[in-house]
Structure 1
Amino acid sequence: MRNYIIKRILLLIPIIFIVALIAFFITNLMPGDPVRVILGNMASEAEVARLEAALGFDQPLIVRFFRWLANIMRGNFGESLYLNAPVSQVLAERLRPTFLIAILAEILGITAGVLLGILAAVKHRQILDQFSITVSLLGISIPSFWLALILMYFFSVKLGWFPVSGYEPFNEAGFGTLRYIILPAVTLAFMQAGLIARMTRSAMLDTLKQDYIRTAKSKGLSVYSIVFKHALKNSMLPVITVIGHNFAVLLGGTWIVETIFVIPGTGFMAINAIMRRDIPVIQASIIFVAVIYVILNLLVDLSYAFLNPKIRYQ
């Protein structure tokens, strides 16, 4: 197991290099001049040239790439062109809201999805099964931005239970922060619940047809014991894969929801950076998402050995 973990960690190096290569050249080939965006169209050529030299944009692209790569290997992503602060500091400040929303959404999505999937498998071809399928299809089909607006309209505008938008940090509002993140989390959790319920139902149906389940039934074991102690654990491998992938999607894909609810997370930061052509922030956001995906994929693979003792990594 240790050798396998070391190999996977070493594989991070070429993966991150390729991601960095793509991120750098795509962001630098984006239409629009960040210097012109900063100074405005009325700036003189001398002012533009002076700022380009200060930012290093007057250097050849390949020189800038290797200089930037050397810096990020030391954890230095440069400075934001607009916020006048280190990108790593800006990213760290924006991580907390994103993590809070993603973790709450994943907890809600896993709880609802697994329970719905189990009920659908146990009550196969009955009303609960049809209900689970309907919820799954809705979760997969409904766009997150549309659901966010619907929830905002009913629970914020009409009922006034939650703020329409905004965010207060946990160290200032305490558990009052939940009032700001519950609707974004529910929006994201609805999609997660649909995917997880569908996968759990499919895996449980296959498991409940196995011989050892029939043997457990013939011994007179309770439904609870059969479902939760025997069938569920052996059905979790594909479900864990979906959960790990979904959490990576949540951390890297909260951009639309954060923008709608004006949550100052990494997604809201990335959208603003794209609009402003803040290249260092865009590059750091892309690399952040890639690292999250790779790490979570590793954790998912390692969880297989825990759930199934027959799996051994070399």
Structure 2
Amino acid sequence: MRNYIIKRILLIIPVIIIVALIAFFITNLMPGDPVRVILGDFATEQQVIRLEQELGLDQPLIIRFFNWLSSIVRGDFGNSIYLDAPVSEILFNRIKPTFMIAIFSQLFGLIMGLTLGIIAAVNHKKILDQFSIGFSLLGISIPSFWLSLILIYLFAVRLQWLPVSGYSSFSEVGLGALRYLILPSITLAFMQAGLIARMTRSAMLDTLKKDYIRTARSKGLSAKAIVLKHAFRNSLLPIITVIGHNFAVLLGGTWIIETIFVIPGTGFLAINAIMRRDIPVIQACIIFVAFIYIILNLLVDLSYGLINPKIKYN
């Protein structure tokens, strides 16, 4: 396994370089001038030229790319054009809200998805199975922005149980921070639960048809032991894959939900950076998302060996 891990870590380097290449040229070739955004429409030509020189935007694109690449290798993503602060510091401060939402969303999604998936598989072709299929289709089909608006209207506007938007950390208000996490987490968990329920049901239906399940039934094992100890455990590989992918999406920044609920996470940061043409921040957000996907995919692959000892890494 050690050699496999080393190979996968070494493969991260060319992948990140390719992502950096794409991120740099896409952001620099986008329409619009960040200097004009900063100075406004009434800036003089001399002011524009002076700021371009200060930001290094007057240099050829290829030179700017290699200068930028050498900087990010050292962990320096430059300074935000709009916020005038180190991008790495800004991104680090925005990770915590996104991480908290991702944790709670994944937790709610796992509880709902695994429960519905197991119940559906055990009650195949019965009413509980049909209910699970309907719920999963609903979760996958409903747009998250529409569901978030419905939840805001019901629980924040009408019932006034929860805040409409905003975010507070646990260090500031203690357990009161949960009030700001419930609505965005449930919104995201609804889709996660739908995907997890479908995959759990499908994987367990295949496993329940195996010969060793029939053998376990013939030996008189309880239904609970058969379902949880044998069927569910041996169905975990595809389920773990879906869970890992979902968590990567959440950690990468749930841009729309963070914008709707005004949560200062990485997604909200990226949306504002795009609107302001804050190129260094956009580039850092793209690389951050790519890095999250790479690391979580590696962890998911390594978890296969823990779940199924028969899997060997070369």
TM-score range, shorter chain: over 0.9
Quick check: 1:201 aligned with 2:197?
A: no
Residue 5 (structure 1) aligns with: 5
Residue 278 (structure 1) aligns with: 278
RMSD: 0.6
Query: What whole-Å deviation, never above 9, does each CA across 1:240-292 have from its counterpart, x for those lacking one?
Result: 00000011111224100000000010000100000000000000000000000
* Cα distance, 1:43 vs structure 2: 0.3
Q: Determine if contact 2:240/2:300 at 8 Å carries over to the other structure.
A: yes
Residue 76 (structure 2) aligns with: 76
Residue 26 (structure 2) aligns with: 26
- Which structure 2 residues correspond to residues 62-211 of structure 1 after superposition, within 5 A? 62-211=62-211
SS in 1 for 2:221: coil
Determine the C-alpha separation between the residues in 2 that align with 1:48 and 1:217.
78
Determine the C-alpha separation between the residues in 1 that align with 2:55 and 2:20.
19
Q: Determine if contact 2:254/2:267 at 8 Å carries over to the other structure.
A: yes
Report runs of 4+ in structure 1 exceeding 6 Å deviation: none
SS in 2 for 1:119: helix
AA matched with 1:142: I
Count residues with an aligned counterpart: 314
Q: Determine if contact 2:253/2:266 at 8 Å carries over to the other structure.
A: no
Residue 252 (structure 2) aligns with: 252
* Cα distance, 1:134 vs structure 2: 0.4
Residue 224 (structure 1) aligns with: 224
Quick check: 1:213 aligned with 2:220?
A: no
AA matched with 1:160: Q
% identity of equivalent residues = 75
Q: Which moved more, 1:25-34 or 1:167-176?
A: 167-176
Residue 48 (structure 1) aligns with: 48
Residue 287 (structure 2) aligns with: 287
Determine the C-alpha separation between the residues in 2 that align with 1:135 and 1:252.
26
Unaligned runs of 5+ in 1: none
AA matched with 1:158: R
Q: Which moved more, 1:115-124 or 1:248-257?
A: 248-257
Determine the C-alpha separation between the residues in 2 that align with 1:177 and 1:67.
41
Instruction: Give the TM-score normalised by structure 1.
Output: 0.99
Determine the C-alpha separation between the residues in 1 that align with 2:87 and 2:280.
7
Determine the C-alpha separation between the residues in 2 that align with 1:248 and 1:36.
35
SS in 1 for 2:57: coil
SS in 2 for 1:286: helix
Residue 268 (structure 1) aligns with: 268
Q: Determine if contact 2:16/2:287 at 8 Å carries over to the other structure.
A: yes
Determine the C-alpha separation between the residues in 1 that align with 2:147 and 2:118.
25
Determine the C-alpha separation between the residues in 1 that align with 2:287 and 2:175.
31
Residue 312 (structure 1) aligns with: 312
AA matched with 2:236: M
* Cα distance, 1:169 vs structure 2: 1.9
Q: Determine if contact 2:117/2:132 at 8 Å carries over to the other structure.
A: yes
Determine the C-alpha separation between the residues in 1 that align with 2:14 and 2:176.
43
Determine the C-alpha separation between the residues in 1 that align with 2:277 and 2:170.
30
Determine the C-alpha separation between the residues in 2 that align with 1:265 and 1:64.
28
SS in 2 for 1:182: helix
Determine the C-alpha separation between the residues in 1 that align with 2:166 and 2:80.
23
Determine the C-alpha separation between the residues in 2 that align with 1:32 and 1:251.
29
* Cα distance, 1:110 vs structure 2: 1.0
Determine the C-alpha separation between the residues in 2 that align with 1:311 and 1:96.
35
* Cα distance, 1:84 vs structure 2: 1.2
Query: What whole-Å deviation, never above 9, does each CA across 1:132-178 have from its counterpart, x for those lacking one?
Result: 00010001100000000000000100111110011112210112111
* Cα distance, 1:29 vs structure 2: 0.5
AA matched with 1:287: I
AA matched with 1:254: T
Instruction: Give the TM-score normalised by structure 2.
Output: 0.99
Determine the C-alpha separation between the residues in 1 that align with 2:262 and 2:170.
16
AA matched with 2:239: V
